[in-house]
Amino acid sequence: MAGGKFSLANLFGITIRESANDGSDFTNPDADYRRLFLGEDGLLHVKDSAGAVTSPYTAASGAEFATANAKVATSQGTTSTSYADLTTPGPSVTVTVGASGKVMLHVSARMQNSLARDFAGVGVVVSGANTIAAFTVMIVEQDFTNLFMECGTTKLLTGLTPGSTTFKMQYIAESAGGTATFTTRELIVAPVL
């Protein structure tokens, strides 16, 4: 591209030589610039004007959409007025939280309550690299007794510590005299890069 501008060229593909991962094949770029290069590890790296090399593109293609999910389809009830496992716990999934400290969490459940105007609730308890007591994800209140409802919600969790983390659904009934019943429950966790 003698004399031409790379940004204006209509290119169908380029061939990039693999370079040392530590950036030693290159001089430092000018201030406010970064030098982008392909390392011998097959990943993209950048080198700044101070010579520091970072690797913000270390995830494999499509990893930003990688998910872990679990599903339980047994029918069980709880009278507990604080979050607790059912006889068959879960569903539970373990993922590696990335450097962003974020995961997208989706829960869905088919639930009912034996008392009118009482709620059945789903929470998630977190353990491993992050330990968080069960927090409310979804609450369903019914005007009638024993009416099954299909519900789902998605939340973005932030501020997590990178590392292997387990997420598990737990359940709650509003009043001691009521029974919250859950049939199909599903939990999907997707790390966000």
Cis peptide, bond prior to residue 29, ω within 30 of zero: no
Residue 146: what pLDDT?
66
Question: What is the topology classification, in CATH, of domain 63-192?
Answer: Jelly Rolls (2.60.120)
Neighbours of 42 (CB within 10 A): 9
Residue 62: what pLDDT?
44
Residue 69: what pLDDT?
86
Whole-structure pTM value: 0.64
Residue 86: what pLDDT?
86
Residue 60: what pLDDT?
45
**Alpha-carbon gap, residue 134 to 170, rounded angstroms:** 7
For the chain, residues with pLDDT lower than 70 are 1-4, 57-66, 116-117, 142-147, 176
- CA dihedral for 80, 81, 84, 89, sign (positive or negative): positive
Q: Determine how β-strand 149-157 pairs with β-strand 132-141.
A: unpaired
Question: Residue 169 in contact with residue 86, Cβ under 8 Å?
Answer: no
Q: Domain residue spans in the chain?
A: 1-58, 63-192
Length of the chain counted residue by residue:
193
Residue 112: what pLDDT?
78
Residue 50: what pLDDT?
93
